[in-house]
Structure 1
Amino acid sequence: MAVVHMRIDNRLIHGQVTTTWVGNIGADYLVVTNDKVANDPVQKMLLPQAARGVPTKVLSIKDTLNFVKSAEAQKGKVMIVAKLPTDALTLLEDGLQPAEINVGNQAPVPGTKFKMVTHSIAVTAADAEVYRAIAAKGYTLTCKMMPSDRPTDFLEALKKNKL
């Protein structure tokens, strides 16, 4: 079955993901993908514990691509949580084809010139280019905190904020 949902959320695994998103989309596996996080032994240990029993992997971009092609992943539904928009774009450029992409929380990075596009999504000009590159691959980017929220077209939110 493979990747049914990709969420770009720099909080990674938290209550909204494990209690609402995973259940709503029926994910059998949760994959956190980011090269730096995958090389952090503390996060590799803690993130699966935060998933509250959902089978969870914390993987590099390359290992994420290998996992979603595996027989194990093909038997179920995979939800990917990409820490950064650049992580998501790299996965797409390397052939990942999620059924949908949602932009979740992106906290502001201190020292960067960002605009708050929503109350929980900070975007720099460079980030906006990455989001447009994702959309150029044929994806409609939505933003919503909870699955039951009405989706907002994320590119429209960028335009509204002059990004």
Structure 2
Amino acid sequence: MAGAHVRIDNRLIHGQVTVAWTRRLGVRRLVVCNDDVAADELQRMLLPQAARGLPTDVFTVADTLTASAGAGVMIITKDPEDAFRLIEGGLRPEVVNVGNVAPRPGTGYTMVTRSIAVTADEADAYRKLAATGVPLVTQLMPQDKPAEFVPLLDRKGL
């Protein structure tokens, strides 16, 4: 399953994804990949509506791995652990892009960039993900220059 674009974004589907990224990457299908979201009937109904007509699936990690992915598919995970499980399961994206990760109330987080909040546990998960050898970058918008993600964690002491 090479060729799919993987983005970590806890907001899942929103304007940046449905407009800027899908156009730039030629995305023909979105896959939201998270076990909890896939188990939530309301989210399974609402997320495809947010995709503005783009075919959208809401899958567990296991279902994402068995679905046909490849060029033209953008997989959006809610957190780094989901992305790690995909790669551990055999997915081979060219890159994993850390997009928007909004802070969650009640968690001790550090703002790594103006749009990415990271807890200590998530920092460990990002490092584990980077250790797979798949490039881990952050690139908020397609016109932005991608930045290696682990050095950003290092600079923040995570």
Q: Same fold (TM over 0.5)?
A: yes
Tell me if the contact between 1:4 and 1:100 (Cα under 8 Å) persists in the aligned partners. Answer: no
- Structure 2 counterpart SS, 1:109: coil
TM-score, reference length from structure 2: 0.95
Q: How far apart are 1:24 and its partner, in Å?
A: 0.7
Query: Structure 2: any 5+ residue segments left out of the alignment?
Result: none
2:87 — aligned with what?
A: 92
CA–CA separation in structure 2 for the residues paired with 1:90 and 1:109: 22
Displaced runs of 4 or more, over 2 A: 1-4
Identity across matched positions, percent: 54
Residue number among 63, 83, 100 corresponding to 2:78 in the alignment: 83
Tell me if the contact between 2:100 and 2:115 (Cα under 8 Å) persists in the aligned partners. Answer: yes
Partner amino acid for 1:129? D
CA–CA separation in structure 1 for the residues paired with 2:7 and 2:77: 6
Partner amino acid for 1:137? T
Superposed CA offset, 1:124-146 (max 9, x none): 11111111111111022111210
2:113 — aligned with what?
A: 118
CA–CA separation in structure 1 for the residues paired with 2:36 and 2:45: 14
Q: Is 1:145 matched up with 2:140? A: yes
Q: How far apart are 1:5 and its partner, in Å?
A: 0.8
CA–CA separation in structure 2 for the residues paired with 1:79 and 1:100: 11
1:52 — aligned with what?
A: 52
Tell me if the contact between 1:2 and 1:78 (Cα under 8 Å) persists in the aligned partners. Answer: no
1:23 — aligned with what?
A: 23
Tell me if the contact between 1:37 and 1:58 (Cα under 8 Å) persists in the aligned partners. Answer: yes
TM-score, reference length from structure 1: 0.92
Tell me if the contact between 1:11 and 1:105 (Cα under 8 Å) persists in the aligned partners. Answer: yes
Tell me if the contact between 1:33 and 1:58 (Cα under 8 Å) persists in the aligned partners. Answer: yes
CA–CA separation in structure 2 for the residues paired with 1:38 and 1:112: 23
2:12 — aligned with what?
A: 12
* Cα distance change, pair 127–118 in 1 and its aligned pair in 2 (3 A): same
Q: How many residues are treated as equivalent by the alignment?
A: 158
Root-mean-square deviation (CA, aligned residues, Å) is: 1.3
Tell me if the contact between 1:8 and 1:85 (Cα under 8 Å) persists in the aligned partners. Answer: yes
Tell me if the contact between 1:3 and 1:79 (Cα under 8 Å) persists in the aligned partners. Answer: no
Superposed CA offset, 1:20-62 (max 9, x none): 1111111121100001100111111111111111111011111
